[in-house]
Amino acid sequence: MTDAEDHRSVVRRNAPDLGITRPLVTPIWPSVVYASDGPDALDAVYEGRAAGFSYAREGHPNAAALAAKLDWMENAEGGVVTGSGMAALSAILLSLLCEGDHVVGGAQLYGRSLRLLRRELPRLGYSISLADAADAGAIAAALRPETRMIVIETVSNPGLQVADIEAIASLARREEVLLVVDNTFTTPRAFRPLDAGADIVFHSVTKLLAGHSDATLGYVAARDPDLAQAIAEAVATWGFTPAPQDCWLAERGLNTFALRYDRAQDNAAELAAHLAGLPGVTRVLYPGLADHPHRARAARLFAGNFGTMLSFEVAGGRAAATALVAAAPHLPFAPTLGDVATTLSHPLSSSHRALRPAEQRALGLGEGFFRVSTGIEDIDLLKGEFTAAVAAAQAVATAGTQASG
Ligand SMILES: *Cc1c(COP(=O)(O)O)cnc(C)c1O
């Protein structure tokens, strides 16, 4: 065999013939391009008359496999997977808005979503107002004749306010404004926005759905097939495509999603009650606690699923907060959520650091404020670790009071 023939026989050889068997697990298809039989076949694929792929930015099997599962979970059709949660939101805004359109956003949206709305949209000729999503009256008051879209989250971070979704959905329908819901915190296990009247649902799949902090992905689905098509085109055109390996990891993560969610939610409920009883904890925010202002709304909307996120506060300022983190070496101090491990975040120094001090105060974010995303650990272990961490913070707070008093 010549070198040339040798090369030809090695390069671009297809996978082995699997015969009459098939893999149990979705394979990873890293291929960027897909060959076909000729121009007629390619026409058929592009025109949707035949199934197939052409170029990975336009779509690939791993994204399609993951999207089909997320569609099923969200009771959606034709959803698309994107390279991140922010890519999903970007695709929605870039595909459905025109210069001059106005958007009403929830005032407590995820930090980057807020930045996208407030800093990027005005540059593109869209205008934006923010209003409290827990109060449909505030959202209604922010509407203008040119309002095209309302963007809200089911549950806010880190205040854990529950959006008044039923009233906002009727408002959006009446005013013919598109309602876009970020369902990342709640997940389809607890709530399906499209069933509740939203026009579009999106996710950071990076969080609970993938669940292992090893894949950055988003997902978006629209009820109206024309909107879904426009969003899918934007994903391909602006280049918001996900990587096949990430899609594969998320698909594997979904196998255990329901189990992880239920366990993490049980842990959150028990940990919230535990923290509320600890000396040194000045407040606990969890929609399932009896004193939460939106408990009844959360119970109704989410069928009793109060979620996997909670926040709490200790006295003593930055020094106490630092002591709390230092005394909890097994609780990763990390600005993310939805991991299999319980994570601790400090909004003032991470997600909410860019806000003005008055805005931080309005959200009740002091130095002692922490947000917890519960994982699937043994609850007694978690309770013990939080007890020790809070005690360390309280020791610092008490010493500080005595020194200054
Ligand atoms: C993380 C997050 C996003 C952004 O998702 P990425 O995958 O990080 O781009 C959007 N909304 C919420 C609620 C999030 O938690």
Token pair 């292992």 in the structure block, residue: 212
pLDDT-derived band at 8 (thresholds 50, 70, 90) equals confident
SS3 203: strand
Name the pairing type of β-strands 127-131 and 102-106: parallel
Instruction: Give exposure, 80-94, as e/b (b: 16+ Cβ within 10 Å).
Output: bbbbbbbbbbbbbbb
- As a whole number, the mean pLDDT across the chain is 95
Separation of alpha carbons 284 and 290, rounded Å: 11
CA–centroid distance, residue 66 to ligand 1 (Å): 18
Q: Does residue 184 have its Cβ closer than 6 Å to ligand 1?
A: yes
Side-chain-side CA neighbours of residue 42 (13 Å): 9
pLDDT (tens digit per residue) in 334-381: 988 999 999 999 999 988 888 889 988 888 899 999 999 999 999 999
Is the link from the previous residue into 279 a cis peptide, with omega within 30 of 0? no
Structure tokens at 231: 């969003």
Does 12 have pLDDT greater than 90?
no
Q: Does residue 218 have its Cβ closer than 6 Å to ligand 1?
A: yes
Strands in 189-325 per DSSP E: 200-204, 218-222, 281-285, 309-314
CA–centroid distance, residue 204 to ligand 1 (Å): 4
Pocket test for ligand 1, best of 82, 90, 112 (most atoms within 8 A of CB): 112
CA–centroid distance, residue 330 to ligand 1 (Å): 24
Catalytic positions, written as ranges: 57, 110, 182, 207
Q: Does residue 182 have its Cβ closer than 6 Å to ligand 1?
A: yes
pLDDT of residue 356: 87
Name the β-bridge partners of 343.
Answer: 373
- Residue 13: exposure state from Cβ atoms within 10 A (0-12, 13-18, ≥19): exposed
Interhelix angle for 225-238 vs 85-96, to 10°?
110
pLDDT of residue 6: 78
Does 251 have pLDDT greater than 90?
yes
Q: Does residue 206 have its Cβ closer than 6 Å to ligand 1?
A: yes
Choice among 106-120, 185-199, 219-233, 246-260 with the minimum mean pLDDT: 106-120
Structure tokens at 146: 């040119």
**Measured CA distances, 15 to 11, 27, 115, 249 (Å):** 11, 11, 45, 21
Separation of alpha carbons 312 and 291, rounded Å: 13
CA–centroid distance, residue 282 to ligand 1 (Å): 28
Q: Whose CA is nearest to atom 1 of ligand 1?
A: 204
pLDDT of residue 191: 98
pTM here is: 0.95
pLDDT of residue 1: 66
pLDDT-derived band at 213 (thresholds 50, 70, 90) equals very high
pLDDT (tens digit per residue) in 276-313: 999 999 999 999 999 999 999 999 999 999 999 999 99
- Supply angle C-alpha 338, 74, 153, rounded to 5: 55
